[in-house]
Chains A and B, each alone.
Chain A
Amino acid sequence: MSNELLRVTDLRTYFAAGPDPAKAVDGVTFSLNEGETLGIVGESGSGKSVTAMSIMRLIPNPPGKIVSGEIIFSGKNLLQLSEAAMRRIRGNEISMIFQDPMTALNPSFTIGNQIAEVIELHQKMTSKEAGKVAVEMLKMVGIPEAEERAKQYPHQFSGGMRQRAMIAMALSCKPKLLIADEPTTALDVTVQAQILNLMKKLQKELNTSIIMITHDLGVVAETCDYVAVMYAGRCVEYSDTVTLFDNPLHPYTWGLLASQPNLDSKEKQKLKTIKGNPPDLRNLPLGCNFAERCPHAQHICFEKEPQLSEIENNHLTACHFSKEWLSSRGEVS
């Protein structure tokens, strides 16, 4: 087994919003090894992006605040580092790519400049040397005529090219961890396929760990080794990808898998839906956050919050009935 790079334990990030805080992330625990990819899936408002921002310590305070938890990255607890120390890690050891490359890039600087800025900041290089490295990086991510392209501005790039430039920038200091927040959601499918292939190729070359935040289960199946499913600020299921697709043990995961139309299915069936809407994060229910929408909910689900616990080897779920689902494997869905 490879070494553990990141361990997040019981992370809680709240936002002040009126009398009660919005519990955007409310007890998330997971770990990630070197060179591996962890997928975080969930719907909007489930806390995927806030988890990523918490790891980067980019939560705007106020209104946001990391209330408790530990984020151990390469042996250091990121939550206890000074702002200056954190700044040395951001973009250097942990970097991030975003959903919309147009808003993430500065429109008034050239692409080459923006990449060189990161390199200059973190590695002792002159701007000339950094500029050369920036061109190298653009070549690495498959941008043709990289020297010319480096002198251009973001608006002269297409969506897929901008995302490539973002990846070049994120990987320019050879980070140990890359957080990709919905990196392909804004792209067309053919371009999405290019970007996913590129990320996989570069991961192999640089042995980077990736946290892939997405709502697309297809992307998860193609790219991730492990998956954490989030719902209303909590991690409800964590396992390796194959197990999650073969043998999910949380009713929310079942719902998620069943409600996306599957391209492989031969016959047209009515889609299974999850009734209702996710709960209000300012006013979470007493028991399980999913109980109200869960077709299998019992009394206990409304009264007691289920804890994330290991059901079988490296497969964790937060459901009062996980053991029963495990023994009746395949019979409920």
Chain B
Amino acid sequence: MGPVILEIENLKKYFPVNKGIIFSKNVGMVKAVDGVSLSVFKGETFGLVGESGCGKSTTGRLILQLLKPTGGSIIFDGQDLTKLSREEMRQKRMEIQMIFQDPFASLNPRRTVREIVAEPLVIHNIGTSQERYKKVTELLEIVGLTSAHAERYPHEFSGGQRQRIGIARALALQPKLIVCDEPVSALDVSIQAQIINLLEELQQEFSLTFLFISHDLSVVKHICDRVAVMYLGRIVELAKYADLFDNPIHPYTKALLGSIPIRNPRLKKEREVLEGDVPSPLNPPSGCHFHTRCKYAQGICKTDSPVLKDYGNGHLAACHLY
């Protein structure tokens, strides 16, 4: 394992909720991210999983400082990103890039592919226009497109090809860390496999570090080295992928793994299913956020929120039971 490239300490993001139009007043806080701590090692793929609304995408956006955190620190390569000025952060973004979920919404429809991929280079004043021209062609070839594609517009491409364009753009500045926010969930399975393989090849070739945000556990198991499971803004379990999938500790992780449809028609068993929905993050349950749906919940779970404990081999879980 390489050195730590990204260290997040007690990261918080609260969104105020206001009511009323004229005499608007604050009626509460949505604690989208509520004390998340994790470290990502250089060269690894770190997975962040959870159901919708658990704060995984917000965490990704906080890392790029697209949202200002309410509290906590984000140490990237020895520097606290939360303390940087706008201009310093803009420079820093050369090293951290993002790939978005929806390849239809993340590309400007009025720009050609060449303009889209060259934009990061233009913004950061890299190279002459001829050099940029060459660089774009090179990038497109890296992601499996050709220079013939460069003069076309995004609508002329299929979903998988657009995602390749988004990846080429993210690679343009040779970043160290790429935050991938659900990069394959909008794609069909056969195309999904192509993009996953491409990401893995690029990681090898350019020694990239990925923060991989996804709700699809089978994809996460395939691509990630370590995985953190989030529930209502907090990390409930964090471990190496093999430990997490083979020996989950937290009841939520167990339930999540148990809910995935199994691709074996001979196993027609009735599964254990979590009751109810994820509670509202506006008014999350006291103590352990999961106690309302947990069948092992005890008195202490309703009052005290559990902290992450180490169960050996870097396997962390936040549960009073163990």
Which of B52, B188, B270 contacts A197 (CB under 8 A)? B270
* A 262-279 binary contact with B (CB < 8 Å = 1; else 0): 111000101111110100
With both chains docked as a complex, state the minimum distance between the C-beta of B195 and any C-beta of chain A, in angstroms.
9
Q: Is A102 an interface residue (CB 8 A)?
A: no
Stretch at the interface among A122-130, A210-218, A314-322: A210-218
**B260, A261: Cβ atoms closer than 8 Å:** no
With both chains docked as a complex, state the minimum distance between the C-beta of A282 and any C-beta of chain B, in angstroms.
15
**A270, B273: Cβ atoms closer than 8 Å:** no
Interface residue tally for chain B (C-beta within 8 Å): 44
Q: How far, in angstroms, from A274 to B262 measured CA to CA in the complex?
A: 22
Residue of A nearest to B188 (CB): A43
**A277, B273: Cβ atoms closer than 8 Å:** no
Complex interface residues of chain B between 238 and 282 (CB less than 8 A to chain A): 245, 255-268, 270-271, 273-275, 277-278
Which of A44, A197, A219 contacts B273 (CB under 8 A)? A197
Residue of A nearest to B224 (CB): A268
Residue of A nearest to B275 (CB): A194
**A221, B265: Cβ atoms closer than 8 Å:** yes
Contacts of A221 in B (CB 8 A): 261-265, 267
Stretch at the interface among B1-9, B13-21, B213-221: B213-221
Q: Is A188 an interface residue (CB 8 A)?
A: yes
**A190, B51: Cβ atoms closer than 8 Å:** yes
Contacts of B260 in A (CB 8 A): 189, 218, 263
Interface residue tally for chain A (C-beta within 8 Å): 45
**B264, A245: Cβ atoms closer than 8 Å:** yes
Residue of B nearest to A255 (CB): B190
With both chains docked as a complex, state the minimum distance between the C-beta of A123 and any C-beta of chain B, in angstroms.
32
Q: How far, in angstroms, from A222 to B257 measured CA to CA in the complex?
A: 15
Contacts of A158 in B (CB 8 A): 277
Q: Is A54 an interface residue (CB 8 A)?
A: no
**A215, B218: Cβ atoms closer than 8 Å:** no
Q: How far, in angstroms, from A263 to B256 measured CA to CA in the complex?
A: 13
Q: Is A256 an interface residue (CB 8 A)?
A: yes
Residue of A nearest to B195 (CB): A273
Q: Is B197 an interface residue (CB 8 A)?
A: yes
A189-B51, A193-B274 as given contacts; A222 in contact with B262, CB under 8 Å: yes
* B 206-239 binary contact with A (CB < 8 Å = 1; else 0): 0000000001011101110000000000000000
Contacts of A333 in B (CB 8 A): none
Residue of A nearest to B225 (CB): A268
Contacts of B219 in A (CB 8 A): 261
**B221, A259: Cβ atoms closer than 8 Å:** no
**A43, B265: Cβ atoms closer than 8 Å:** no
Contacts of A260 in B (CB 8 A): 189, 192-193, 218, 263
A189-B217, A259-B189 as given contacts; A264 in contact with B262, CB under 8 Å: yes
Q: Is A161 an interface residue (CB 8 A)?
A: yes
**A218, B263: Cβ atoms closer than 8 Å:** yes
Residue of B nearest to A242 (CB): B265
Contacts of B258 in A (CB 8 A): 193
Chain A residues in the interface with B (C-beta under 8 A) = 43-44, 158-161, 188-194, 196-197, 215-222, 224, 241-242, 244-245, 255-256, 258-264, 268, 270-275, 277
11 CB-based A-B contacts, threshold 8 Å: A43-B188, A189-B256, A193-B271, A220-B265, A221-B264, A221-B267, A256-B189, A256-B190, A260-B263, A261-B221, A261-B222
